Structure 1
Amino acid sequence: MAERRRSEVAWETRLGDARGRRVVFLSHCLLNENTRYLGGAARPGCVREIVDACAEAGLGMVQLPCPEEQAWGGVHKRRLLRLYGSARWLPRPLRRAALPVLLAYTRWVYKRLARDAVRQIADYRRTGHEVVALVGVDGSPSCGVRRSLDIRVALERLAEADRESLTTDRVNAILRATSVPGEGMFTEQVRRRLRARRIGVRFVAHDLQRELDGEPSSAATALRDITGRR
């Protein structure tokens, strides 16, 4: 391993270039809001102020996978959509029996994705890069840093809602009402694997609810503070 690293350093010296060796890991939807749950995209593409803060500081932006896209049925989260208004045809005892299976499968997918993400973080660090931060999304049941969702309550309320009356405002009102302190399921898995490998990474939160209210991202300010780019 040491010999391999010495060889890499020799090549780095010979083939030096302009790379800044500083990166930030970003939750997928911060660079691509097209993967948000339907009703949850407040921007047509990316959260521009976060991208601008990274560009100003010369940070490379590494896009994490969207765990919900992987676990819940693609870009539109088809498995999640089937639960909307499902109380009409799926009795509560069956919904309660199905939920642990859904969550167990979700955690299994998230463990695999978190393992791959942490391997990538470790590789950047091994090759002499600084991982400045990982930016998650508060209000997400998966990528929350300080706030997540009570996913059981949120899904039950979506199941009991009248499918024909569900609107963007109604869906977001349910998610606001079921927001709780704590980290999301994917964030939890990433932290656990970072701790196991004794890798310290700063976590920064982008607030989804503030974004939906039309407010700028406090994560952009946090990144500028971290990098000294006020």
Structure 2
Amino acid sequence: MQRNKRILMVSHCILNQNTVIEDEARAEGAVLSAVEWALKEGYGFLQLPCPEFTFLGLNRPSMTYEQYNTPEYRKHCREILMPVLHQAEEYITNGYEIVGLLGIQSSPSCDPTRGIFMEELAAMFAEKGIELKKLWYLPDTSSPTFKSGEHFVK
């Protein structure tokens, strides 16, 4: 079978809600509406690491953007993003397209418009001349249903 060579970068918890802090999970496992949409589009997944999980563990407290906005956390984000950047570069070198990014609305780390992790990702990709053409987000509701036409930043 011929590959379509289109890759969607996805916030970790869209594919694995088990990394979300207690009482804030939006699905039992993966967020089905987002996964089904991406599969129908023919996208392959590049699952991003969860920066909050890798920084503070599973039993971490709920924290705000301001609380995560520290030099130590930003450094951690950049460190765990290095393998992602290398993967993206390898895909691009071999004719693949990074079609965009699917993040989490209102997340202090993974909101595509105001998340610390996403800010660091965008900066690192920009440093390498990699454009994030499209940004989508999972809406901030207790039972989100992802709709690509509505939950689109750019």
TM over 0.5: yes
Displacement, 1:208? 4.2
Flag the structure with larger Rg.
1
Displacement, 1:205? 3.2
Looking at structure 2, the residues matched to 19 and 76 of structure 1 have their Cα atoms a distance apart, in angstroms, of 39
* Aligned partner of 1:104 among 71, 78, 81: 71
Looking at structure 2, the residues matched to 193 and 215 of structure 1 have their Cα atoms a distance apart, in angstroms, of 29
Checking the alignment, whether the CA contact within 8 Å between 2:34 and 2:145 is kept in structure 1 is no
* Aligned partner of 1:191 among 122, 137, 144: 122
Partner of 2:9: 25
* Aligned partner of 2:18 among 34, 40, 48: 34
Paired amino acid for 2:119: E
Q: Percent identity?
A: 25
TM-score by length of 1: 0.59
Looking at structure 2, the residues matched to 58 and 44 of structure 1 have their Cα atoms a distance apart, in angstroms, of 24
Partner of 1:123: 90
Looking at structure 2, the residues matched to 123 and 59 of structure 1 have their Cα atoms a distance apart, in angstroms, of 17
Partner of 1:55: 39
Aligned residues: 150
Paired amino acid for 1:49: S
Displacement, 1:203? 4.1
Structure 1, residues 12-45: CA drift from partner, whole Å, max 9, x if none?
A: xxxxx52221111100000000101111112101
TM-score by length of 2: 0.85
Looking at structure 2, the residues matched to 205 and 223 of structure 1 have their Cα atoms a distance apart, in angstroms, of 6
Displacement, 1:104? 2.8
Cα distance 1:124–1:71, how it changes in 2: closer, same or farther (>3 A)? same
Cα distance 1:208–1:76, how it changes in 2: closer, same or farther (>3 A)? farther
Paired amino acid for 1:54: A
Are positions 1:216 and 2:134 aligned together?
no
Over 3 Å off, 4+ runs: 220-224
What SS does the corresponding residue of 2:136 show, helix, strand or coil? strand
Greater helix share, 1 or 2? 1
Looking at structure 2, the residues matched to 111 and 217 of structure 1 have their Cα atoms a distance apart, in angstroms, of 28
What SS does the corresponding residue of 1:209 show, helix, strand or coil? coil
Structure 1, residues 164-201: CA drift from partner, whole Å, max 9, x if none?
A: xxxxxxxxxxxxxxxxxxx2111011110111111111
* Aligned partner of 2:81 among 108, 114, 123: 114
What SS does the corresponding residue of 2:117 show, helix, strand or coil? helix
Checking the alignment, whether the CA contact within 8 Å between 1:136 and 1:145 is kept in structure 2 is yes
- Which runs of no fewer than 5 residues in structure 1 stay unpaired? 1-16, 84-98, 147-182
Displacement, 1:116? 2.3
Structure 1, residues 60-79: CA drift from partner, whole Å, max 9, x if none?
A: 11211001111112x233xx
Alpha-carbon RMSD? 2.6
